[in-house]
Every structure is written in C-alpha cells, then in structure tokens.
Amino acid sequence: MRQGVNAEKNGSNPVKNLVTNCRRAADRGVQICEYLSWLVLLVWVGLMTVGVIMRYVFSAPILFQVDVVSGLLVVFCSFSFASVLVREMHIRVDILTRQLGARTQRVLTGFSYLVTVLLSVLMVWASKNLIYISFMMNSKFDVSGIVLWPFQAAFAFGFILLGCAAFFRLFQTVVSAEPVETATLHA
C-alpha cells in the first residue's frame, strides 16, 4: 500500500504504465501489419499491371488474376484497418464535437473506441464459423482453385488487431486524464 502511495506522489501509476506499454506494443504490431499491407498492395498493383498487359497486348489473359486480386484486396484492407485508427486517418466530422468541453470529448472518444472494440469482436465472432466451414469443406476460388480460408483468416486477424488497438486506447482514455497520443506511427 505504501509503495502505491509513493508511486502516485511521484507521478508514476503502474496501471497507467502497463496500459501505455501494451498500447505501444500493439502499435508496433499495427505498424508491422501496415508495412505488410503496403507490400500486399505492391503485389496487387503488379499483378493488375501484368494482367492488363497480358490481356490487351498479348491476348493471353491470366485466368487466376481476378481470384488473387480479390484475395489480396481483402488482405490489404484487413491489415490496414488498425493503422487507420492508430494514425487517426479516418474521416471524422467534428462540427459539433469540437464545440464541446474536453471531458465530453474524452467521453465521446472513449465511446467510439468501445463501439470499435464491439464491432471488432462481432466481426471476429461472425468470421470464425466461416473460416472453420471453409477449412473443413476445402473451399476454393472457382477459377484458380486457391484455398479461401487464409484470406478469411486475414480478415479476422485484421479485426483482432483493430480491436486490440481500440481496446488499449479505450483503456488509456479511462485510466488517464490526458488524451491518448495520436499519430504514434511514423511514415
């Protein structure tokens, strides 16, 4: 008990420090996934370019192109969700909320993080059965025959990452009196 009182006097709160460290670790994971998503996008653009050249220049379309491009688009978007939240690059209409006090803004920010966590849990919960069924049935794309469940798992992983990032921001908003640091990822 005495140690907790001294920690409060010195300005270091162990719960706040734990939450901050967990949030920073989650942000590093988000940053890694962001880099992977850019790599996936690069492959996606390359495949689209080669597909267009093959189809219109050589009259020899790549049959599996649409399947792979569709799957890569899911992976790119899924791995980018959390990065958009962490960088606060999402579209925000704050015409009304910027007129409110700081405490009310914190409450609304916390509520938006809570909604994001709940949405993420819902999406992961809904996709787990789809992944299981696709895996058990060995579901594949129609043309290419590429297995579907890894792309579905990437979708679920993206929402797990988004949920973690939102959860730690929500928890930090509750624990801390200061606003959550924004734009913690660097380009």
**pLDDT score of 90:** 65
At residue 43 the predicted structure's pLDDT band, cuts being 50, 70 and 90, is very high
Condensed to tens digits (0 to 9), the pLDDT of residues 57-115 reads 998 888 888 888 989 999 999 999 888 888 876 666 666 767 777 778 778 888 888 99
pTM: 0.76
Domain ranges, ordered by start, for the chain:
2-175
Cβ atoms of 40 and 76 closer than 8 Å: yes
Cα distance between residue 156 and residue 129, in whole Å:
11
Compute the mean pLDDT over every residue in the chain, rounded to the nearest whole number.
Answer: 82
Dihedral class, residue 182 (left if φ above 0, else alpha if ψ from -120 to 50, else beta): beta
Q: Map tokens 């994001």 to a residue.
A: 116
* Cα separation, 50 vs 185, whole angstroms: 32
State both tokens at 53: 């050249």
